[in-house]
Structure 1
């Protein structure tokens, strides 16, 4: 690692609570974003994450992109993929974790984790999983970025800046809801949870 200081990485680990392979992926994705986009400010950068795994905390902490500022966008696709854009230049790219980045360690880790989950793991199994996790996070922290991620330039698809919209009162629960998140049903304006209750087909 060379882009972020040791202190920045330690602070990101403290923010998340621990260092793990998932957080290492996020740290390296944040590094890739800063390098490829020429160090954008936390207002210029936009991050689109396709997972809710540990690494998202590192991306948020190290790039300054946040849900509250509207420049950290979560798409629940279950993919280890991250897109980054710079609002000022329009430059962007999508990075997907290279399957080979894990060095073939994931299958044994998955099997050991399942044994632990089902109460069948020995002390040696638990120790082995800990060793594998440490080996993987070390590998991920030092692998060249171009080997770790498969990158595709993004010339379109820069998310729109956040807008302040009116709030409408849900006619079922009475709670105010952002206009763009309401639904119409039976002549009523409903929030999404109330709409789901009355519109259920099963």
Structure 2
């Protein structure tokens, strides 16, 4: 039985101004799937927003790259592209909204100590069973019923060196590949330093983005 079919018998916790079923639909459109981490993340974002003083210009930190950044982007003005959302790969399910000038903010995290015993949430989060054996409908139902009850929060202050507007700095031309890059990265761009993601294949141009070699004339 899915989350939608429970709505006649149960009252799910809203996620900000959205009811739970509405947020599921939003998650499908934005994320392609109503992932449990995204649904939980919605409650996390709204809990942090609730505790941030009204009128504060805030930025965000997501402490994992799994699902949580999308919840931030769906429910706040903070995105990876505009630089107001920073993703740090600490591997924990926590996020921070903080005053962009002072660094003072609120950290919210998924608190294992608050999981009901024998809950599907515990099974999912701790991977006690393979994903194919988990009950996704029951999991969504539990998330919608518990909402922020499985979260904890507390004040934090972001270190000063992490505040302020990000900048590429001076831009120069890479002598290896001929592409423009931030001078602070070194004498050649990072790709020409060997940090390429691509395997050579027929038809691809030979350049720094592949091998670090100078493009052929």
Give the TM-score normalised by structure 2.
Answer: 0.67
1 CA distance for matches of 2:47 and 2:190?
Answer: 36
1:103-126 C-alpha deviation (Å, 9 max, x unpaired): 443675535426x5xxxxxxxx4x
Task: Describe how 1:1-202 pairs up with structure 2 within 5 A.
Answer: 1-2=13-14, 3-6=16-19, 9=23, 10-38=25-53, 44-87=57-100, 90-103=103-116, 104=118, 105=120, 108-109=123-124, 110=127, 112-113=129-130, 116=132, 125=133, 129=134, 132-143=135-146, 145=148, 147-157=149-159, 159-163=163-167, 165-180=169-184, 182-183=185-186, 189-196=187-194
CA RMSD of superposed structures (Å): 2.8
Q: Which runs of 5+ in 2 are unaligned?
A: 1-12, 196-217
**Cα distance change, pair 54–88 in 1 and its aligned pair in 2 (3 A):** same
Q: Cα distance, 1:39 vs. partner?
A: 5.4
More off after superposition, 161-170 vs 2-11? 2-11
More off after superposition, 62-71 vs 99-108? 99-108
2 CA distance for matches of 1:51 and 1:152?
Answer: 18
Query: Tell me, what secondary structure is at the counterpart of 2:193?
Result: helix
Query: Tell me, what secondary structure is at the counterpart of 1:66?
Result: coil
**Cα distance change, pair 170–152 in 1 and its aligned pair in 2 (3 A):** farther
Q: Which runs of 5+ in 1 are unaligned?
A: 117-124, 184-188, 198-202
Aligned length: 174
Query: Tell me, what secondary structure is at the counterpart of 2:65?
Result: coil
> Does the 8 Å contact 2:48/2:97 carry over to 1?
yes
Which structure has the greater CA radius of gyration? 2
Structure with the higher helix share, 1 or 2: 1
> Does the 8 Å contact 2:100/2:163 carry over to 1?
no
